[in-house]
Structure 1
Amino acid sequence: MESTTKTVSPIDKQLARFKEIEVGGSQYLDRLTAGDREAIPLLVQVGKLLDQIYIRQRWSGNEALHSYIHSQNPRDPKLDLGLQLFKGPWGLNEERFIDSIKERGDDGNIHEKIHIPHHPPPHGNFYPDGIKREEYLDWVAGLEGQDKLNAESYYHVVKRDATTGKLYSVSYSNEYKEFLVPASKLLKQAADLVSDESLAKFLKSRAEAFITNEYTESDVDWLRISKESALDVTCGPYENYTDKMLNVRTAYEFFLNARDFDSSAILAKFSSRLQDMEDQMPVDELYKAKGLYPPAIITVNQLYSGGDVAVPMTAAYNLPNDEAPIKIAGSKLVIIKNVQEGKFEKVLRPIAQQVLDSDQLGKVEFEAFFQHVLMHEVAHSLGPHFLVRDKAKKVRTALEEYHAAMEEAKADIAGLYAVGLLLKDGTLSGNPDAESFYITYLASAFRSIRFGITQAHGLGQAMQFEYIKEQGGFSYNTETRKFRVVMDKIEGAVRSLTTRILVLQGDGDKQKVKEFVDKYGVISPEVKEALSTLEDLGVPVDVYPKYRILEDGTI
């Protein structure tokens, strides 16, 4: 009998995991002046240039691959979309969806034109291909002065001399000059058009930073953009996730947002509670920071994004990550409301219907999801950022490749613990209540774990899930094959995990962190079964954007 089994291609498998949402559009532009509107197409061009930088940063063969795929006639729309969403040839779980490119040569034989590794190299394209961490560390150990600072900089790449084989540093301003110079000019032109003076100041100073490679001043200017500015722009090298080898080098990203004034006013009241929340973290005083700057908190609706914005879509970010501007002006939390709403409706609600006991489904609420994401971003500022027994050494440096996942887990669980504090003291009204926060958090855990445990957010969430389940805060019904929150144990489990992670970070003992990650950063059989069911039912993993601002004549 002929088989009816349908083979699903790697790209079809990846694209099936995402649902399109419309992002931006004229409905968000009511508060903009004519000058603001004129600046938008210039800023979008900046985003596209930073997108080209990130394609180069992602992997050394990425530019050649993009060029090859886009040059095909006819073009494959699925591969085009895959490269657009993932910024490279690897999708969720670092699965390769494009094989190495082979062509027949003049000699009649098949030759490999572009070799695509099965998994993205941990060093991205910030270091020479094939480099090992030990070689890099040995090189840095032998450097002094400015050479050493450059070698450990957020804003320099490491190259290898083709003749001598020696390593050396190159500033981002030189490495990406062909993109940064035109981006700088566009930012200056936009600065002359926007209505808000503080936004114009940031655009000008960021334009200079693209040329000088000095980012502290413009980061401070970004932090001080007025909350009255109807436009909000984030552009520059920020996140370290692409550098999986050392979690140091930063990737360029771009967000063009319209301010949501009503939601921003509601959320701003939490910013004054940062130090109070830090003081109430369930750890010894050694692990608590003093003199914390309350983060600026704004809510926006995204109009356009580029650069390091591969799916899953960013729903919030707390920047900068560079400690220098943070010491001067704190950090800023940006909550992207329209993306949050898309994720909740297209992904989280369908997941909850499949994985939760039916009697808890009614407690899955958007406001609980929305406010926990807010607290997640606030919680990145909580806890130790330097080792408690070596104040000169960063937690990031001590934990190296484990830092990203531990930091995401910290932000999740400390944020959830902080929600409990705010509910008890009345800062949060009680609607949604604690039960809704915990149950929505459980449903959201499956959303994050589906990204895969090779990704920082997914691994961080897997660790939380297994730890809380071990503590009895989550339970699994073997008959219904559904999960539930155990309300009389969840609060204690959240407190215990918050303590555990903050202490691990503050102590900076990499071996103990590794043991924790190895034990809890796994996917249990019952979770695997639930994830498989979600796949079989076609429940999307996340969403991807259709930018209305590019299509409805707004620009």
Structure 2
Amino acid sequence: MAATSNATSPLSKQLARFEEIQVGGSQYLDRLTGGDREALPLLVQVGKLIDQIYIRQHWSGNEALHAHILGKNPRNEKLALGLQLFKGPWGLDEEQFIESIKKGEDGSEGIHIPHEPPQHGNYYPDDIKKQEYLDWVAGLEGQAKVNAESYYYVIKRDATTGLLYSVPYSKEYEEFLVPASHLMKQAAELVSDASLAKFLKSRAEAFISNDYVDSDVDWLRISKESALDVTCGPYENYTDKMFSIRAAYEFYVHARDFDSSAILAKFSSRLQDMEDQLPVDELYKAKGLFPPAIVTVNQLYSGGDVAVPMTAAYNLPNDEAPIKIAGSKLVIIKNVQQGKFEKVLLPIAQQVLDPEQVKKIEFEAFFQHVLMHEVAHSLGPHFLVQDKEKKVRTALEEYHSAMEEAKADIVGLYAVGLLLKDGTLAGGPDAESFYMTYLASAFRSIRFGITEAHGLGQAMQFEYLKEQGGFAYDADTKKFRVVMDKIEGAVRSLTTKILVLQGDGDKQKVKEFVDRYGIISKEVKHALDTLENLGVPVDVYPRYRILEDGTL
């Protein structure tokens, strides 16, 4: 659905901000065995069951709303699409796009839809108060207290006594988890990679036992040689806005992208060398760095807690127990990144960049910088240079996330320059493509707003590089461009600035930096308004090939 500027209803406005992309296709089948392909339909069924769990988790009236909208004949396809994309009746900025439904003349029950999604999701009683929960937990001991604070239990209220009690996910979602467990075990017998089969079996058992640690460790240890990649379970805590405790179920099945993984291996193998070449004093550099666990994939299907904007990368698990045993893993989804590039970044570039520089915009420059961004999170100081026991995160508090995202972006770009000069990236995009694609990508991130860490981090980079002369604005054409004879020096300067700010951990100086550069100037505001008025989409949504022709 192409974005339009004349949409009027809340739902139309929400849908107009997204562009459809096709996800999946026969080009991803090459490395899959016959058994892998046989397992895919089973795994898609698991994904659909996981979707039903998350619909329940999102909000207490969600299942009734979905049944009401999707069960009508004929049904309203725009409303159905809205529910598919947002998993509930609220869109971007938590704007409600479906009104409460009145009780029908046929005796059907009405559905009251809150103006905003409930802070407690559907993990707690609707009438619960935050202090009531805290007081209840404070009075518990032993296993009862552990359960009450677990990622994997919901909280209920006894209808007779009014008292709170805990229910394990395995019981609360039993009608979905039991069939999902059977399907996972069947898929495990078909897939070709033994480590993937081990994960599918142990995750199937976790659905019944409600103990997810061992299967999380098995997920972290899936071989990099496995052509099929599956993520399935309760992970993210965003739906529980009240306490950020309860985990939402999500599901992804991917085909491993071995070519991109080879590029990533080049980056990761040079981690310590890149650290050693950072433009800061030795005090700010780490020693003994090890490559992070990162895999690149192409998405085939997803379900559960996967509302738009589409997830293009995720770092899991969030549970500290398996992390202590086996670390964490970052998954980067290449075909989703490509969809965002084609449907969002390129149209942005065509509106805000100098026409000559638009010709240099390349997907590989965009994607390789994404890979380098993730690697760059490992670079630079993570503890203060004057207090090796104190974390940068702790010192910077609310400013840490935006500074860390800005660090990963700019250090990643600086490192790309190093790898271009020494020939590591020979045969790919040149420096002009990287810098000009980076400029276009800045507008894509800033459009999500500077209250969000990525958007604020990008705004700070943009304004600093512009001040240093690396970016220029033409008031006549109202276009931006990269100044090639200044951008490298500006990137180096900003790299030094951010790494020193992080390593020193002086929160007041960081605040001054954020206040000065974390803004949207009138030129940028004009560009953003133009993009909105022209209907350039904010993000993409998926149309899964596997649901249409069954070939993948």
Which bin holds the TM-score, normalised by the shorter protein? 0.7 to 0.9
What TM-score do the two structures reach when normalised by structure 2?
0.83
Matched, 1:271 2:278: no
Distance in 1 between residues matched to 2:392 and 2:533, nearest whole Å: 43
Task: Verify the 8 A CA contact 1:473 1:493 in the aligned structure 2.
Answer: no
Task: Verify the 8 A CA contact 2:64 2:111 in the aligned structure 1.
Answer: no
Distance in 1 between residues matched to 2:82 and 2:65, nearest whole Å: 12
Task: Verify the 8 A CA contact 2:317 2:329 in the aligned structure 1.
Answer: yes
> How far 1:270 moved relative to its partner?
2.1
Distance in 2 between residues matched to 1:237 and 1:284, nearest whole Å: 42
Distance in 2 between residues matched to 1:386 and 1:131, nearest whole Å: 40
Task: Verify the 8 A CA contact 1:65 1:114 in the aligned structure 2.
Answer: no
> How far 1:152 moved relative to its partner?
5.1
In structure 1, the residue corresponding to 2:359 is in which secondary structure?
Answer: helix
Distance in 2 between residues matched to 1:137 and 1:236, nearest whole Å: 27
Aligned residue in 2 for 1:68:
68
Distance in 2 between residues matched to 1:70 and 1:376, nearest whole Å: 41
Matched, 1:184 2:181: yes
Matches within 5 A, 1:78-477: 78-103=78-103, 113-117=111-115, 119-127=116-124, 129=126, 150=147, 153-157=150-154, 170-245=167-242, 247-277=244-274, 293-382=290-379, 395=393, 399=397, 408-429=405-426, 431-453=428-450, 457-466=454-463, 468-469=465-466, 473-477=470-474
Counterpart of 2:186, as a letter, is Q
> How far 1:10 moved relative to its partner?
1.6
Query: Which blocks of at least 5 consecutive residues in structure 1 are unaligned?
Result: none
Q: 1:538 to 1:471 in 2, by over 3 A?
A: same
Distance in 2 between residues matched to 1:243 and 1:414, nearest whole Å: 33
Distance in 2 between residues matched to 1:159 and 1:517, nearest whole Å: 43
Distance in 1 between residues matched to 2:159 and 2:517, nearest whole Å: 43
State which drifts further: 140-149 or 268-277: 140-149
How many residue pairs get matched?
544
> How far 1:47 moved relative to its partner?
0.8
Counterpart of 1:19, as a letter, is E
> How far 1:274 moved relative to its partner?
3.7
State which drifts further: 137-146 or 425-434: 137-146
Counterpart of 2:10, as a letter, is P
Task: Verify the 8 A CA contact 1:25 1:552 in the aligned structure 2.
Answer: no
Task: Verify the 8 A CA contact 2:54 2:249 in the aligned structure 1.
Answer: yes
Query: Which blocks of at least 5 consecutive residues in structure 2 are unaligned?
Result: none
State which drifts further: 249-258 or 57-66: 57-66
Counterpart of 2:369, as a letter, is H
Distance in 2 between residues matched to 1:403 and 1:137, nearest whole Å: 28
> How far 1:156 moved relative to its partner?
4.1
> How far 1:43 moved relative to its partner?
0.3
> How far 1:517 moved relative to its partner?
6.5
In structure 1, the residue corresponding to 2:102 is in which secondary structure?
Answer: strand
Distance in 1 between residues matched to 2:290 and 2:259, nearest whole Å: 23
Distance in 2 between residues matched to 1:326 and 1:293, nearest whole Å: 16
Distance in 2 between residues matched to 1:543 and 1:96, nearest whole Å: 20
Distance in 2 between residues matched to 1:518 and 1:185, nearest whole Å: 54
How big is each residue's C-alpha offset from its partner over 1:422-466, in whole Å with a ceiling of 9 and x where there is no partner? Answer: 345543338423443232122112222333456554454445445
Aligned residue in 2 for 1:35:
35
Q: 1:455 to 1:96 in 2, by over 3 A?
A: farther
Task: Verify the 8 A CA contact 1:416 1:494 in the aligned structure 2.
Answer: no
**What percent of counterpart residues are identical?**
78
> How far 1:292 moved relative to its partner?
5.0
Q: 1:75 to 1:145 in 2, by over 3 A?
A: same
Q: 1:491 to 1:380 in 2, by over 3 A?
A: closer
Task: Verify the 8 A CA contact 2:381 2:499 in the aligned structure 1.
Answer: no
Distance in 2 between residues matched to 1:520 and 1:284, nearest whole Å: 24
In structure 2, the residue corresponding to 1:335 is in which secondary structure?
Answer: strand
What TM-score do the two structures reach when normalised by structure 1?
0.83
Aligned residue in 1 for 2:24:
24
Distance in 2 between residues matched to 1:269 and 1:275, nearest whole Å: 12
> How far 1:71 moved relative to its partner?
2.8
In structure 1, which of residues 477, 480, 485 is the aligned counterpart of residue 477 of structure 2? 480
